[in-house]
Amino acid sequence: MDFGTVAVGESVDSTVSVTNAGDTTANVTQVSIAGGSFSLVGGDNTPIAIPSGGTYAVKVAFTPSAASDYSGQLTMLDASAKPVAEVKMKGSGKGHQPGTTAAANPQLTVSTASLSFGSVTVGSATTQPVTLTSTGTTAVTVNAAAITGGGYSIVGGSFPVTLNPSQSLTVQVQFDPSATGSATGQLTITSNSSTGSTAGVTLSGTGTAAANPQLTVSTASLSFGSVTVGSATTQPVTLTSTGTTAVTVNAAAITGGGYSIVGGSFPVTLNPSQSLTVQVQFDPSATGSATGQLTITSNSSTGSTAGVTLSGTGTAAAHEVDLSWTAPTTSTDPVAGYHIYRSSGSGVFALINSGLDVPTAYADNTVVSGATYTYYVTSVDYNGIESDPSNQASFTIP
């Protein structure tokens, strides 16, 4: 450990790091200094346990009392007085001519050699401090603080500034990235320090994209057309995460008579490009047009709510009268087919099948709600002879 040349009566501190290269813990019970003008700073702090591979720092002061060369030794002992570590030390004292004053010794110490800002969202800013301390025996002048690198700046402070011995000044360095990706920079301090006119602090950080959740809904409207009362039909609505970060769909609510959401549960989080399909059902309970609204709420940056208009028409169910009869067994001629006659309440019967029906059954799907219909059937042989009418049957359509 070389302290170099130090003015007589002044004191310079230096730190030595002792590393345990052994396989077991080194237990230090005594730290001693041999040699005049060398001393421990802060005492020996024993006992000290240095684990295998670990490091312990010892600070030593050199205070020459005369213009001369000095040597000494730092020794660390274990409980058996066996040396754990030995460090040679040297330094020189420098005097001055009688009747003159000691040379000025301005010194500037910078608190760190680097700042790491980590990940910072684009468009936001964070700051970290750098402390400048006058550690010499006379005042030091900090002439300027300059910064380079995209996104880096100094917040507040003005230069030049003079710091008396032991006086400090804290500079705030800001990182405000304007783009994603890593960014490096440099803070350069210039002064009249005897240890060097410039001191640098390397700067590093990464700009990250701001959270941008976006939800896209596949359609703005659904038309169900005509749907028979009492029956149900469904149509899909697809929700897709189209942002750069996940989007949370908080709820899906529906209004309007006959409309409902089938399945699905909320809230749900969709990662970028992930989709969810919601089934919307229309089950009209009455005839006539019906409108409704599906409302999706989310944390999407494009809007917290999205709506889908719903429309459809409930229609009456189709009615049908199904007739069946027994073929005549007393006819002397074979039956070629049947005629079906219908009256709608006027007492006048009209033939409703355009040709002979061979089966002994007939479906009349031309009826309407609220009407009453009366039917009878006749058989026709191959000679075209028509039988007498069958018994009549009447039906009221609901």
Check whether residue 6 and residue 79 sit in a common domain: yes
User: Is position 177 within any domain?
Assistant: yes
Check whether residue 123 and residue 171 sit in a common domain: yes
Number of independent structural domains in the chain: 4
pLDDT on residue 83: 87
- DSSP 8-state code for residue 123: T
User: Is position 101 within any domain?
Assistant: no
- Single out the residue of 24, 6, 19, 92 nearest to residue 56, CA to CA: 19
Give residue 74's domain range: 2-94
Alpha carbons 63 and 48: distance in angstroms, whole number? 26
Check whether residue 146 and residue 80 sit in a common domain: no
Q: What is the 3-state secondary structure (H, E, C) of 29-86?
A: CEEEEECCCEEECCCCCCCEEECCCCEEEEEEEECCCCCCEEEEEEEEECCCCCEEEE
With a cut of 50, list the residues of the chain below it in pLDDT: 97-101
User: Is position 303 within any domain?
Assistant: yes
Cα Rg for the chain, rounded, in angstroms?
Answer: 50
Alpha carbons 187 and 115: distance in angstroms, whole number? 10
User: Is position 161 within any domain?
Assistant: yes
Kindly tell me the number of DSSP H helices and DSSP E strands found in the chain.
0, 33
Check whether residue 196 and residue 230 sit in a common domain: no
pLDDT on residue 96: 52
CATH of the domain at 44: 2.60.40.10
Which of 94, 127, 156 is where one domain is finished?
A: 94
Check whether residue 190 and residue 269 sit in a common domain: no
pLDDT on residue 167: 96
Check whether residue 304 and residue 257 sit in a common domain: yes
Per-residue pLDDT tens over the stretch 132-162: 999 999 999 999 999 999 999 999 889 999 9
Alpha carbons 294 and 255: distance in angstroms, whole number? 7
pLDDT on residue 98: 46
Check whether residue 342 and residue 385 sit in a common domain: yes
Residue with tokens 């028509």, as numbered in its chain: 386
Whole-structure pTM value: 0.45
Residue with tokens 């050699």, as numbered in its chain: 113
Which of 164, 183, 208 is where one domain is finished?
A: 208
Which of 208, 243, 265 is where one domain is finished?
A: 208
245, burial (CB in 10 Å: exposed 0-12, middle 13-18, buried 19+): middle
User: Is position 335 within any domain?
Assistant: yes
User: Is position 367 within any domain?
Assistant: yes
User: Is position 99 within any domain?
Assistant: no
Residue with tokens 């769909």, as numbered in its chain: 249
User: Is position 103 within any domain?
Assistant: no
Check whether residue 309 and residue 355 sit in a common domain: no
Give, for 364, the enclosing helix (H) or strand (E): strand 361-364
Check whether residue 332 and residue 309 sit in a common domain: no
- Single out the residue of 128, 118, 114, 116 nearest to residue 208, CA to CA: 118
Check whether residue 234 and residue 187 sit in a common domain: no
165 φ/ψ sector (left φ>0, alpha ψ -120 to 50, else beta)? beta
Check whether residue 11 and residue 33 sit in a common domain: yes
Check whether residue 270 and residue 338 sit in a common domain: no
